[in-house]
Amino acid sequence: MISRVLAADVPAHIGARIRVTGWTHRRRELKSVTFLVLRDRSGLVQVVLPQPVDVPEETVVQVEGVVIASDKAPGGAEITEPVVTLLSEPAQPPPFDLYRPNLSATLPTILDNAPVALRHPKMRAGFSITAASVAGYRAALDELGFTEVHTPKIVGTATESGANVFGIDYFGRRAYLAQSPQFFKQSLVGVFERVYEIGPVFRAEPHDTTRHLAQYTSLDAELGFISDHHDVMAVLREAVAGMVSAVRTRAAEAVDLLGIRLPEVPPVIPEIHFADALALVGADPAEPDLAPAHERALSEWAVREHGSEFLFVIGYPIRKRPFYTHPDPARPACSNSFDLLFRGVELVTGGQRLHKYSDYLAVLADPEPYRGYLDAYKHGMPPHGGFALGLERWTARLVDAPNIRQTTLFPRDLNRLSP
């Protein structure tokens, strides 16, 4: 059997007899000729048949034939003199037309039929961008001496934050799904100095919003021997630049197909202090946090003022940040923490953490539930900090998807547990 050629590579084989395999993306019967458009992981290729064939859309086929140049075919080539073999037949037609330029179905219908809907080239493209982004994140941090780690998703105490946690029956005991690898990655700074983890995190989010899910993929990093949060922000800048760069090189076709514009990541991302940010958007100076409308306004300001689609907001009030947040030594009511805004939303949260055992004892009313976590601090921990970036949210902003479910393969939320 001659070896398989991918659809995207067919134009390089003009004059040759080749074999392609894939799905019947579209069948068009004209008076004297039938066109089959075949879809594989690389793209589409057109096959010309002298007579009609009974190959409904989504049939898995193999086609052997001769490649000829054709101005009218996608890619400038098509396959003639075909021998079509059916590899696997569909039991029923798809619930929507996958061959149309855009998938015209409601989001619930798309999500209910995800295994089929994701086959649409534009749906698939978003996830190619996701995969490229992750590869770029890892490449950037590997280059900076980080070690990849894998930490428990089942934890014994629900201690990290006020957000809701999922309870598990753990061999008859109560346990919880980890809301983040926060405590683990901090402990591991004591081991590897610089760590990252890419994995699922879980939030029992009781609200049905367009930007929250019960499970999402968190790109976490943590590093030691920092001066303050600015060292963390500098690493985050490299990580994000690596992500954009990898999308550009590894997912170029997806970027083209979706017609999206990739952001430039400035060598130094502009920053604004939380207090100045509130003033800029005309909010009450006593506000403890930024509202979504404020984040949008700040993003627009950063584009206008700095030509940057990225903006750091630093110095959030310490009372609104998690207990492990390091205060700003010069203004202790403010924290050495930051959010990174991108295209109007908060993409990343991070900051410097407390690193002294005595500081933890001072902020924790009851340290007992944190005993395992605090062990690392008893034994010498360097000044450190880190961040967490939500992968699905990142892709949603890149492809301009209004709902995070559009950039999640199989979303989990208040109402959705399948497919």
Nearest CA to 4 out of 49, 87, 62 is that of 62
Question: Using an 8 Å Cβ cutoff, are 82 and 47 in contact?
Answer: yes
Shortest Å, Cβ 145 to its own copies: 7
| Residues in region 375-414 near its own copies by CB under 8 A | 375-383, 391, 409-410, 412, 414
Is 353 annotated in a binding site? The answer is: yes
Q: Residue 200: CB partners within 8 Å, gap ≥ 6?
A: 153, 215, 216, 217, 218
Q: Is 212 annotated as a binding residue?
A: yes
Q: Does residue 393 have a known ligand-binding role? A: yes
User: Can you list the positions of beta strands (E) in 123-186?
Assistant: 147-148, 154-155, 167-170, 173-177
300 is in an annotated binding site: no
At a CB cut-off of 8 Å and minimum separation 6, what does 366 contact? Answer: none
Q: Does 76 bind its own copies (CB under 8 A)?
A: no
Query: Does 258 contact its own copies by CB under 8 A?
Result: no
- Residue from 187, 308, 325, 336 touching its own copies (CB under 8 A): that is 187
Match 């649409």 to its residue by tokens: 120
Residue with tokens 């690493």: 235
Closest approach of its own copies to the CB of residue 51, in Å: 22
On whether the CB atoms of residues 30 and 36 are closer than 8 A, the answer is no
Q: 30 or 91, CB closer to its own copies? A: 91
Residue selected from 11, 80, 192, 280 as contacting its own copies according to rule CB under 8 A? 192
Question: Per rule CB under 8 A, is residue 15 in the interface with its own copies?
Answer: no
Compose the 312-351 pattern: x for residues touching its own copies by CB under 8 A, - for all others: ----------------------------------------
Q: How far is the CB of 168 from its own copies (least distance, A)?
A: 5
Binding string, 115-154, against its own copies, x = CB under 8 A?
A: xx-xx----x--xx-xx--xx--x---x--x-xxxxxxxx
Per CB under 8 A, 96 contacts its own copies: no
Judged by CB under 8 A, the number of residues near its own copies is 92
Binding mask 150-179 for its own copies (x = CB under 8 A): xxxxxxxx--------xxxxxx-x-x-x--
What residues contact residue 108 under an 8 Å CB cut-off, 6+ apart? none
Residues in the chain: 419
367 interacts with its own copies by CB under 8 A: no
Helices 121-143 and 229-250: angle between axes, nearest 10 degrees: 140
Q: Is 108 in the site for its own copies (CB under 8 A)?
A: no
**What contacts 259, CB < 8 A, 6 or more positions away?**
none
- DSSP secondary structure letters along 185-245: HHHHHHHHSEEEEEEEEE----S--SS--SEEEEEEEEEES-SSHHHHHHHHHHHHHHHHH
Residue 36 binding its own copies, by CB under 8 A: no
Binding residues for L-aspartate: 160, 203, 349, 353
